[in-house]
Amino acid sequence: MSALSCAGTAVGLASQDVLVITDLSPASNNAVWRGARIARERGASLRLLHVSAGAKHMAGARQALGSIGRQLHEHLGIELDAQALEGELLPAAISAARAAGLLVIGPRRANPLREWISGTQAERLIRLCRIPTLVVKRPATPGRNATPGPPEHGRYGRVLVSVDLRPEAVDLIAAAMSLSRDPQPQVFHAVVANANGRATAPEALVAHPGETAIQKAQAMLRDFIKSSGAQKLGAVSAVAFGHAARCVLARERATGAELVVIGKRQRGLLADFILGGVTQQVLASSRADVLVMPNRPAPTWQPMAPARPP
């Protein structure tokens, strides 16, 4: 496999590239267009990567990438760096992700047994690349709440942010706001019940004696929203009681969210892919696009400025 080239760097950052991995399927093309619109709005470089296991498909892949490049230039006025490589996807993706600030991929699924053991292709990329990753499931059209004026195609009209009650929630909310055109984005937390049906109490909640778990969570969410600056953008808090992934998915359906933003803790393979992590379940069952933020984003990630409230 040929070595991947690295683009030039921005001052103070390793890169602000948007990297889109495409298999050239229709679902993957949605990821290409969403990534292109985000790159245009950020003023970032756009890189497309296609990896094929066999040499016989390379000519067709390069031709398809050339066609995509012409369409993006015609409709969005942007240039891109497109590469078609022969070899294994994961090593190529990990190498390319080192020079990227955001990874954009489609929701492709493959062999069910392999997915049960090691996760879907999207889950493996998220786990191994360890940079903010946007899994695109929807056509990349302007959000339905977009206000009059120049369209901001990279942003979403309905945004749901699922957070744990940890300090990292502030960064997660800030990242979500940078992709939001929602006049009232929701910051959500599920208070999880234990085997006895009682609310479990994270360490953060113990510091608020005399209140119910719901009240404590609401108070902490309000603090997170204020600290992130999202209060000025109309963000509101929401708390539910129950299984975390099921609550997030129910809230997604109820709000009509176009984007769900969720954090990803580094856990063992058994915990994440056999017992089933919240992130894994949301990725598998959501209808919305999903932005997965690592708890400690790489220094390449710099959220865009939040959209101004309408």
161-201 confidence digits (pLDDT tens): 999 999 999 999 999 999 999 999 999 999 986 544 454 54
- pTM score > 0.95 for this model? no
CATH architecture of 17-135: 3-Layer(aba) Sandwich (3.40)
Classify domain 159-294 by CATH number.
Answer: 3.40.50.620
107-156 confidence digits (pLDDT tens): 865 544 444 444 567 777 888 888 999 999 998 755 555 454 455 568 99
Q: Is the pLDDT of residue 14 over 50?
A: no
Give the model's pLDDT for residue 264: 78
Show the beta-strand stretches assigned E in the chain. Answer: 17-21, 46-52, 81-86, 100-105, 133-135, 159-162, 186-191, 236-241, 259-264, 289-294
For the chain, give every residue range classified as CATH 3.40.50.620.
17-135, 159-294
In the predicted model, what is the mean pLDDT of residues 216-226? 95
Give the model's pLDDT for residue 220: 96
68-77 confidence digits (pLDDT tens): 999 999 989 9
